Amino acid sequence: MTAVTVALDYHHAWTGKDLDLAMSFIAPDIVCDAPAGRIEGAEGYRAFMAPFVQMLVRTDLIAAFGDDEQAVVVYDTETTLVPSGPAAECVTVRDGKIVYSRFIFDRLPFESARQARAATSQGRRTGST
């Protein structure tokens, strides 16, 4: 299996909301450099992915390329929070598992949407008292 096969199997698993299957492609000692910082270990990685998978509405695969060891998967996501949140994952694969991931996406629309929701919820609470 080439790196891109593993990266795509992983991609299809989590975008299909099967986090158990997705995690079967993740090495126990995965290191992931995500926008908010480094995540180490499969447990932390799962905790990072789970809330995102939960709010996922759809994904569109944009590109997937790689060689024997490294692959890049680029896709767009629609979530309940943000209508378009494109991302790129550049992964290193060893023995059929992702051992390293550089995860790139724009946190700004997610932060803005969270703040807007918090403000609305705050407004509702203030309005009801």
Report the interface residues with a copy of itself, using CB under 8 A: 33, 35, 62-63, 65-67, 70-72, 74, 86-88, 90, 102, 104-108, 111
Length of the chain as a residue count? 129
Question: What is the closest distance, in whole angstroms, from the C-beta atom of residue 82 to a copy of itself in the complex?
Answer: 11
88 or 99, CB closer to a copy of itself?
A: 88
Question: What is the closest distance, in whole angstroms, from the C-beta atom of residue 108 to a copy of itself in the complex?
Answer: 4
23 or 85, CB closer to a copy of itself?
A: 85
CA distances from 18 to 33, 37, 41, 56 (A): 22, 25, 19, 12
Residues 6+ apart with CB under 8 A from 24: 13
Question: What is the closest distance, in whole angstroms, from the C-beta atom of residue 20 to a copy of itself in the complex?
Answer: 28
65 or 123, CB closer to a copy of itself?
A: 65
Instruction: Judge contact between 31 and 40, C-beta under 8 A.
Output: yes
37 or 127, CB closer to a copy of itself?
A: 37
Question: For residues 9 and 36, what is the distance between their CA atoms, to the nearest angstrom?
Answer: 25
Question: What is the closest distance, in whole angstroms, from the C-beta atom of residue 59 to a copy of itself in the complex?
Answer: 14
94: Cα within 13 Å, side-chain hemisphere: 8
